[in-house]
Amino acid sequence: MDVETAAHSGAPEATEEGGSDGHLPGIREAGVGQIGPTGRPLPHFPEPTPLSAHGPARVIAMCNQKGGVGKTTTTINLGAALAECGRRVLLVDFDPQGALSVGLGITPNQLDVTIYNLMTERGHDVRDVIQHTAVEGLDIIPANIDLSAAEVQLVGEVAREQILARVLRPVLDDYDVVLIDCQPSLGLLTVNALTAAHGVIIPLECEYFAMRGVALLVETIEKITDRLNPRLEIDGILATMYDGRTLHSREVVQSVVEHFGETVFHTVISRTVKFPDATLEGKPITTYDSTHKGAGAYRQLARELIARGGAA
């Protein structure tokens, strides 16, 4: 099946502008067994079974050194969708821009203690820095611009790559999933995230050149696996800002699937202004506009991740 056919055989287009107001009735654009937006038959992702006990957490780094690909948006909304499934979720803002914190309604520049203090000073209790969000089961360790100094400060530290892992260790038993929102770089902070993680999710924007730089990222992940964290694996590659009306978007997804095969999530995230709108309100889309298909997409991603064993 060619790209054109694949993208059209599935059911309604996965875009807000594609002839609806974005509020499609079902969670899936393409039904189970139909060809989904990645050109493969869409499997069934069952409702996750409720957990009777919590922890220890599986830690996932949201990582791509390319900027603006949807790392922060995915961290917020996948986190919220997992929390809706009854999972206890801790988000870690690991970007000095603090966009994750802002996107959950926190004003990070007014905070005295953030992930920066946990990373660079001894004697803090991580529990004092964790904040609850308006979403039940969703907590966050915020960051602000202070973190931009950490990279330089940590260079001379012993075991400088393992500091985040040490910071998170005391609370891993309290959560089912920890999602780390990395900054767009492959520097020491991102190396810390990859060293603390069990898995990596790589968001890729559906634009030409989306895969430029991914080889370097994969190489970095392999080096971390060899030298620092043998358990690390790529949980999945997530196509974001997909516009099914454009051949362009469909071709990008097709070539990503050709390169990475089953590593690519069946779920793709469409381009819609609801995401920046929700961020401005400081809410996940699942709260801001619960019935919007963007919310449905992240709920499906949560189910797909659980079905893959990427989360409990």
- Residues of this chain that interact with ligand ATP (CB under 6 A) are 67-73, 95, 99, 184, 240-241, 269, 271-272, 275-276, 279
Of 194, 181, 199, 200, which Cα lies nearest the Cα of 92? 181
DSSP codes joined into one string, 73-128: HHHHHHHHHHHHTT--EEEEEESTT-HHHHHTT--GGG-S--HHHHHH-SS--HHH
- Of 28, 58, 66, 71, the one binding Mg ion (CB under 5 A) is 71
DSSP 8-state class, residue 47: P
3-class secondary-structure state, position 233? strand
Q: Which is nearer to ligand ATP, 16 or 161 (CB)?
A: 16
Q: Which is nearer to Mg ion, 72 or 267 (CB)?
A: 72
> Which residues contact residue 115 at a Cβ distance below 8 angstroms, ignoring those fewer than 6 apart?
92, 93, 94, 129, 141, 142, 143, 147, 167
Residue 73 binds Mg ion, judged by CB under 5 A? no
How close are the terminal C-alpha atoms of the chain, in Å?
Answer: 35
Q: Which is nearer to ligand ATP, 114 or 272 (CB)?
A: 272
Residue with structure tokens 């520049």? 109
Q: Which residue sits closest to Mg ion, CB atoms considered? A: 72
Min separation Cβ 218 and ligand ATP, Å: 17
Q: Which is nearer to ligand ATP, 106 or 171 (CB)?
A: 106
Pairing of strands 233-240, 177-182: unpaired
Residue 269 touches which of Mg ion, ligand ATP, none (CB < 5 to 8 A by kind)? Answer: ligand ATP
Residue 240 touches which of ligand ATP, Mg ion, none (CB < 5 to 8 A by kind)? Answer: ligand ATP
Dihedral through CA 182, CA 185, CA 190, CA 194, nearest 10? 90
Residue 67 touches which of ligand ATP, Mg ion, none (CB < 5 to 8 A by kind)? Answer: ligand ATP
Residue 66 binds Mg ion, judged by CB under 5 A? no
Residue 190 touches which of ligand ATP, Mg ion, none (CB < 5 to 8 A by kind)? Answer: none
Q: Which two tokens stand for residue 270?
A: 């469409």
Of 107, 109, 133, 105, which Cα lies nearest the Cα of 281? 105
Q: Rule CB under 5 A: which of 93-122 touch Mg ion?
A: 99
DSSP 8-state class, residue 204: E
For Mg ion, which stretch binds (CB under 5 A), given 65-73, 133-141, 158-166, 287-295? 65-73
Residue 279 touches which of ligand ATP, Mg ion, none (CB < 5 to 8 A by kind)? Answer: ligand ATP
Helices 214-227, 188-196: inter-axial angle, 10-degree rounding: 60
Q: Which is nearer to Mg ion, 10 or 103 (CB)?
A: 103
Count, residues in the chain: 312
Q: Which is nearer to ligand ATP, 14 or 171 (CB)?
A: 14
Neighbours of 21 (CB within 10 A): 9
Q: Which is nearer to ligand ATP, 163 or 241 (CB)?
A: 241
Indicate the residue type of 149.
A
Min separation Cβ 26 and ligand ATP, Å: 19
Q: Binding residues for Mg ion, per CB under 5 A?
A: 71-72, 99
